[in-house]
Structure 1
Amino acid sequence: MIIPCKSMNISTNCLFSGSSLASEVHAAAVNGDKSTLLKLIAGNSELKDKEDQFGRTPLMYCVLADRVDCAEALLKAGADVNRADRSRRTALHLAAQKGNYRFMKLLLARRGNWMQKDLEGMTPLHLTTRHKSPKCLALLLKHMAPGEVDTQDRNKQTALHWSAYYNNPEHVKLLIKHDSNIGIPDIEGKIPLHWAANNKDPSAIHTVKCILEAAPTESLLNWQDYEGRTPLHFAVADGNVAVVDVLTSYEGCNVTSYDNLFRTPLHWAALLGKLNNAKVF
């Protein structure tokens, strides 16, 4: 799984570091200098969407520096809410990455396109799953049409995959409530349950339970990725006894399922020295 680019986590102090093309309008946006920003735009309307060397506009700088007033001024002046930078990220991507509810609400009200994908195929919806609070995710879900919740990124992962990966059960519940498909395999053949089980934190049992309670079927429980590994294989590999216990508590859990190298979860437990897990079987 590809983790969302950390370059989006940019502090105000380093926004202009090494940037010879940073302009006055970008500086005004970062500093929250609304009067200067409006004067510059009044003198040259093209400045409202001026790009730096990364393709970032003043509106994007407002998001990065949390300057809502300046963002509102830019939008009223006609700034393009869906302009993308060199990585194809929009201001809405950045707001989602930062988990900034106020900005997301503002940008969505101005018809920010949550369906737009960056170079990794990530939409703002994917990016909201990394935060412990489900508030931003819930906001986006209100704007989506049926069927849009399962849009996939470059690795064929949905927001549900990412929510499971980040071990956010409240996000999982919200997505399932909005009819997200829990059986979509990603580029490695993994379904969200694989990613939920592939977590060392004992609290992952809550995410695992959310998924299984939605569809406690043998097919889901024993789903094999393209290497033949089931969620139980991954739970054993991580030494997560709590998750192993939950998975094996289901009558349909196949503890003798072979992966492509003819290894069962028990083989994995012995091979990796996960003796505590071996006791569960």
Structure 2
Amino acid sequence: MDRSPQGMTFISQAVEDLNLVPVSSQASSTNTSQVQISQMVAPVVEKTMNKSENLFFTGSSLTSQVHAAAINGDKGALHRLIVGNSALKDKEDQFGRTPLMYCVLADRLDCADALLKAGADVNKTDHSRRTALHLAAQKGNYRFMKLLLTRRANWMQKDLEEMTPLHLTTRHKSPKCLALQTALHWSAYYNNPEHVKLLIKHDSNIGIPDVEGKIPLHWAANHKDPSAVHTARCILDAAPTESLLNWQDYEGRTPLHFAVADGNVTVVDVLTSYESCNITSYDNLFRTPLHWAALLGHAQIVHLLLERNKSGTIPSDSQGATPLHYAAQSNFAVSKT
């Protein structure tokens, strides 16, 4: 670990940006421990807090170790601690802050990614009801916001001051973070057809991709609730184009792939009712919606897709496997009749 003054820059920046506990004179000491560094970035969340109150972690605490590993970017130590005790991935300190939150504060993207892959709760809140996304938004950290949003972080979560990450993002001059997902994406995600109608009426772009390459129709289709068909219809009524219906995200998935994945027969029915909807569109692994339906055992959707597959051909993936192979692999009996 770099213990030089240059190596401590991120701590000073965290203090400046987020009103954290000032760096003590021990910060530049060559004997600074991981726990001491985690102490330096422990935030004061109560202005009226008694000064005699102990703001720091106990050195022998596993909690302090996992927070310190996150702050210092020690991915190996973080992995060992979590493997030994999986509950540590979401362990809170006395301010309610998790290792993921400290990764944001210290700009440790690799450690944050490791925590999320280990199942860390991306929407966990601290005692101020702020999430990791709040912290990333306040710092205007595009890379972190992109990572957290791809893990379904909630952009509309309110803290104790009724502030959302979206509010905090608008404080920065650069629109880069704000453009990660638009209001229309979120309205479609939360299945709010009236909001979608209003935004489209005011010229919101229905074809703009978000951080994952998804357009609002992807999010509208990505619902188990049959009522999501109303949101999908609002978007399609505005522009039922071939481009919109067959738009592929960065993984090659169309809105139809997502409707199939959720087993939403109603939305699948609406999407495939358009002649321009490509029922045999391949994702990046060369799987069609029919492959997905067969693998997941959605028999009704399988029959619907076969019925509307005008090409008459049965698609194969990159390994030559057909939807029938997928159904057999999952022990689902699906026939064309």
TM-score, normalization: structure 2? 0.48
Q: Which residue of 2 aligns with 1:137?
A: 232
2:303: which partner in 1? 209
* Counterpart amino acid of residue 315 in structure 2: W
Matched letter for residue 98 of structure 1: Y
- 1:111 equivalent to 2:203? Answer yes
Please, which runs of 5 or more residues in structure 2 have no aligned partner? 1-118, 147-153, 159-166, 168-174
154 and 17 in structure 1: CA distance in 2 versus 1, 3 angstrom threshold? closer
CA gap of 1:216–1:149, structure 2 versus 1, over 3 A, is closer
Offset of 1:223 from its aligned partner?
1.4
* Closer/same/farther in 2, CA of residues 108 and 237 from structure 1, 3 Å limit: same
Say if 1:183 and 1:191, in contact at 8 Å, map to a contact too.
yes
Q: CA deviation at 1:96?
A: 1.3
**Higher deviation after alignment, 9-18 or 128-137:** 9-18
SS at match of 1:135: helix
Q: CA deviation at 1:230?
A: 0.4
Per-residue deviation at 1:188?
1.4
Structure 1 residues 227 and 103, CA gap change in structure 2 (3 angstroms): same
Give the aligned partner of residue 98 of structure 1: 190
Larger Rg: 2
Which residue does 1:16 correspond to in 2?
A: 130
How far has the Cα of 1:11 moved from its partner? 8.9
Relative to 1, partners in 2 of residues 1:108 and 1:218: Cα closer, same or farther, differing over 3 Å?
A: closer
Could you tell me the percent identity over the aligned residues?
Answer: 26
Show CA shifts across 1:126-181 (max 9, x none): 11112222111111111114323111111222111221222111111111122211
2:323 is matched with: 231
Q: Please tell me the residue identity of whatever aligns with 1:108.
A: I
CA distance in 1, matches of 2:205, 2:233: 16
> How many residues are paired up?
194
Distance in 2 of aligned mates of 1:98 and 1:110 = 19
Instruction: Determine the C-alpha separation between the residues in 2 that align with 1:236 and 1:196.
Output: 12
Q: Which amino acid is the alignment partner of residue 198 of structure 1?
A: L
The answer as to whether partners of 1:199 and 1:238 remain within 8 angstroms in 2 is: yes
Of 138-147 and 84-93, deviating more is: 84-93
Q: Is the 8 A contact 1:120 1:154 kept in 2?
A: yes
Specify the alignment match of 2:247 in structure 1: 151
* Aligned counterparts of 1:126 and 1:225: Cα–Cα separation in 2: 22
Equivalent residues of 2:251, 2:284 under 8 A apart: yes
Q: Measure, in 2, the Cα distance between the counterparts of 1:94 and 1:234.
A: 33
Runs of 4 or more, structure 1, over 6 Å off, are 11-15
Q: Could you say which residue in structure 2 is the equivalent of 1:189? A: 286
Q: Partners of 1:183 and 1:89 in 2: how far apart?
A: 28
Superposed CA offset, 1:51-98 (max 9, x none) = 965679xxxx99666xxxxxxxx9xxxxxxxx6636721111111111
1:165/1:196 contact within 8 Å kept: yes
Letter in 1 for 2:189: Q
1:178 corresponds in structure 2 to 274
Going from structure 1 to structure 2, the CA distance change for 1:151 and 1:89 (only over 3 Å counts) comes to same
Q: Distance in 1 between matches of 2:155 and 2:253?
A: 29
- 1:230/1:112 CA distance change after superposition, 3 Å: same
Structure 1: gaps of 5 or more residues: 1-5, 24-50, 66-73, 75-82, 250-281
Conserved? CA contact 1:157–1:186, under 8 Å = yes
**Root-mean-square deviation over aligned CA pairs:** 3.8
In 2, distance between residues paired with 1:108 and 1:234? 39
The change in CA–CA distance for 1:239 and 1:216 in structure 2 (over 3 A counts) is farther
**What TM-score do you get using the length of structure 1 for normalisation?**
0.57
Query: Does the aligned pair in 2 maintain the 1:182–1:191 contact within 8 Å?
Result: yes
Within the candidate set 296, 314, 317, 1:199 is matched to 296
Q: Which residue of 2 aligns with 1:164?
A: 260
Q: In structure 2, how many angstroms separate the alpha carbons of the residues matched to 1:160 and 1:104?
A: 19
Alpha carbons of 1:225 and 1:106: their partners in 2 closer, same or farther (altered >3 Å)?
A: same
**In structure 2, do the counterparts of structure 1 residues 209 and 89 end up closer, same or farther at CA, with 3 Å as the change threshold?**
same
> Could you tell me which amino acid in structure 2 is paired with residue 149 of structure 1?
L
Equivalent in the alignment of 2:220 = 128
Contact kept, 8 Å, 2:269 with 2:304, in 1: the verdict is: yes
Q: 1:63, 1:91 within 8 Å by CA — same for their partners in 2?
A: no
